[in-house]
């Protein structure tokens, strides 16, 4: 039985690189893959998945109102599909996730999703939350904080270089994000004073990173 997979991490952990490598492995064995990425991150009408190593592959774009099950079924009528890959899976809606689950369950095609688990506020993305709930296989892709501990959180920098605690959940500028461990994330957003009394601060004070 085909499965729905979710590989998640913070920023700069190499998610897109791993996706492109997995897709290459399928193609190397004569198989056909179909790739999707979020339209919110696209530079133009043509979608692409790119890694920080300079690898880039064309991909279909998806937006909030799209029916991914129907889109994949339409592609299947024209060509064989051995695996579906979805980048920026945190941007999926709950409906999208269930549509992808149906691709695995009804069409027998494995679906491999890659994305962030939480946003810069420490809250689960809707797509990630649904994938964590119903995906058959979960995998954490690890990276490290500047201190050497495992990075599990991200902060977002504003135009002034300071950490921000509000704004849109999705930003197209990936360079605005820094991956941190939980301890340093809490300090960066101002919930814990770096050099002060050990008390909880209700209001986050932006701090430079």
Average pLDDT over residues 73-90: 95
Is the pLDDT score of 43 beyond 90? no
The answer to whether domain 4-140 has CATH 3.40.50.300 is: yes
Residues of the chain with pLDDT > 90, as a percent, come to 62
Is the pLDDT score of 167 beyond 80? no
Residue in this structure with the two tokens 């790739």, named with its chain if needed: 35
> Which of the following is catalytic: 28, 57, 77, 88?
88
Band of residue 171 on the pLDDT scale cut at 50, 70, 90: low
The token pair at 129 is 């939350």
The beta strands (E) that lie in 46-181 are given as 47-50, 56-62, 83-86, 111-116, 137-140, 153-157, 163-164, 177-180
The token pair at 81 is 């599909």
Q: Boundaries of CATH 3.40.50.300 in the chain?
A: 4-140
Residue in this structure with the two tokens 């009394």, named with its chain if needed: 197
The token pair at 109 is 């095609």
Q: Which has more pLDDT, 203 or 14?
A: 14
The token pair at 88 is 């920026």
**204: Cβ contacts below 8 Å, ≥ 6 apart:** 165, 189, 190, 191
pLDDT of residue 162: 79
Is the pLDDT score of 92 beyond 90? yes
Catalytic, 88? Answer yes
């Amino acid at each position: 039985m085909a499965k729905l997979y979710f590989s998640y991490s913070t920023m700069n952990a190499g998610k897109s690189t791993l996706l492109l490598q997995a897709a290459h492995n399928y193609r190397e064995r004569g198989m056909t893959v179909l790739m999707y990425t979020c339209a919110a991150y696209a530079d133009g009408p043509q979608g692409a998945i790119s890694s920080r190593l300079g690898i880039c592959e064309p991909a279909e774009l998806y937006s909030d109102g799209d029916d991914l099950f129907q889109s994949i079924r339409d592609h299947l009528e024209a060509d064989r599909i051995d695996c579906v890959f979805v980048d920026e899976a945190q941007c999926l809606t709950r409906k999208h996730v269930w549509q992808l689950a149906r691709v695995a369950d009804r069409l027998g095609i494995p679906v491999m999703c890659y994305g962030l688990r939480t946003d810069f506020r420490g809250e689960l993305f809707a797509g990630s939350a649904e994938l964590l709930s119903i995906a058959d296989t979960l995998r954490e892709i690890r990276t490290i904080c500047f201190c050497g501990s495992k990075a599990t959180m991200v902060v977002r920098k504003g135009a002034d270089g300071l950490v921000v605690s509000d704004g849109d959940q999705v930003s197209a500028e990936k360079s605005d994000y820094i991956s941190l461990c939980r301890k340093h994330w809490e300090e960066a957003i101002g919930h814990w004073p770096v050099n002060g009394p050990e008390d909880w601060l209700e209001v986050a004070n932006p701090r430079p990173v």
